[in-house]
Amino acid sequence: MRKISLVLLTIISSLATYQCAAQQYTFKKGDSNGTEKWYMGREIAHVMGYQGIHWLERPEREEEENTSILIKNMAIGPDDIIADVGAGSGYHVFKMAAIAESGLVYAVDIQDEMLETIEIRKRKDGINNIELVKGSEKGTNLKHNSVDKVLLVDVYHEFSYPKEMMASIRDAMKDDAELFLIEYRGEDDWIPIKKLHKMTLKQAVKELDVVGLKLERNIDNLPWQHCMIFVRK
C-alpha cells in the first residue's frame, strides 16, 4: 500500500511540474501583428523572415541606431569569443569579427537563408573567424561555458520560447561573460517602431531574472534602443 502511495505521489508531482511548465505560456488575442502567445504579461512578436534582409542592411541604420557606438559599448577584445544570437544578415557579425581578430564570432540563427547570406560574404571576403550555427526555437546549439560575450539585437522579443532560449544562452556564457540585450525602448512612444517590437527595461529585467541573469547596467547612449548588459547571478 505504501509503495502504491509513493508511486501516486510521484505521478502527481510530475504532472504538477508539467502543468507549471505549460502555464508559463498563455494564448489570447492581442496586437493585430502579434502571435497571440504571451509570456510574463508580454505578447511575443512574429519572427522577421529572411525577406526583411533589406531592412537589416538599410543605409540609414547607422544613423537611426548608432551601431558604431553599440560596438564600442561592447569593449570587444582581440581574443573574445562572441555569439550573435539572431544574427540575421550578419550586420553586426562582420563588425565584431574585424575587432576580435584572434577570437571567434558565432553567427547563430534559425533561418537557413540568413546563414547562407553570411556564408556567402564570409567566403567572398576571406574571413576565417566567423562560425555559423543553426539554432532552434528553444536553444542556440552553442557549447557549455564557451562564450565571453553574447549580443541580442532586436530579437529577444521574437523568441517563441524565451525562457528556454535564455536558459540555453546562459548555459553557453562563461562565468564572467556579458550579455548585451538591445531592444527598442518601450518607454518611449515617439520611437517609430511598432509597440510589439519594443521592450521596457522593467520587463526585460523581470524576464531574464527567472533564468538567472541580472542587470549589471543599462548604457543610455543609443538613439532608439536600450543597451542592457546582463551577467550571470
CATH code for position 115: 3.40.50.150
The answer on pLDDT for 6 being more than 70 is: no
Task: Please report where in the chains the cell 530579437 appears, as a residue.
Answer: 155
Question: What are the CA-CA distances from residue 115 to residues 51, 104, 153, 216, 219 (Å)?
Answer: 13, 16, 16, 31, 30
Range of the domain at 62: 49-232
pLDDT in tens, 88-140: 999 999 999 999 999 999 999 999 999 999 999 999 999 999 999 999 999 99
Helices (H), 24-135: 53-56, 61-65, 67-73, 91-99, 112-125
State the Cα–Cα distance between residues 206 and 204, nearest whole angstrom.
5
- What's the pLDDT band for 23 if we cut at 50, 70, 90? low
DSSP secondary structure, 186-211, as one string:
TT-TTSSS-GGGEE-HHHHHHHHHTT
- What's the pLDDT band for 164 if we cut at 50, 70, 90? very high
Using a pLDDT cut of 90, give the percent of the chain over it.
80
The total of structural domains in the chain comes to 1
The answer on pLDDT for 8 being more than 70 is: no
| Number of neighbours of residue 138 by Cβ within 10 angstroms | 14
The answer on pLDDT for 144 being more than 70 is: yes
Is 199 part of any domain? yes
Ranking 14-28, 61-75, 190-204, 213-227 by mean pLDDT, the lowest is: 14-28
The answer on pLDDT for 55 being more than 70 is: no
Task: Please report where in the chains the cell 498563455 appears, as a residue.
Answer: 26
Using a pLDDT cut of 70, give the percent of the chain over it.
89
Is 26 part of any domain? no
Which residues is 217 bridged to in the sheet? Answer: 229
Is 23 part of any domain? no
What pTM does this model have?
Answer: 0.88
State the Cα–Cα distance between residues 4 and 56, nearest whole angstrom.
59
Whether 195 and 31 have beta carbons less than 8 Å apart is answered as yes
Is 41 part of any domain? no
The answer on pLDDT for 21 being more than 60 is: no
Whether 92 and 84 have beta carbons less than 8 Å apart is answered as yes
What pLDDT was estimated at residue 161? Answer: 98
Question: 1 or 222, which is more confident?
Answer: 222
Question: What are the CA-CA distances from residue 184 to residues 54, 56, 144, 160 (Å)?
Answer: 19, 14, 29, 18
DSSP 106: E
The answer on pLDDT for 53 being more than 80 is: no
SS3 144: coil
* Average pLDDT value for the chain: 90
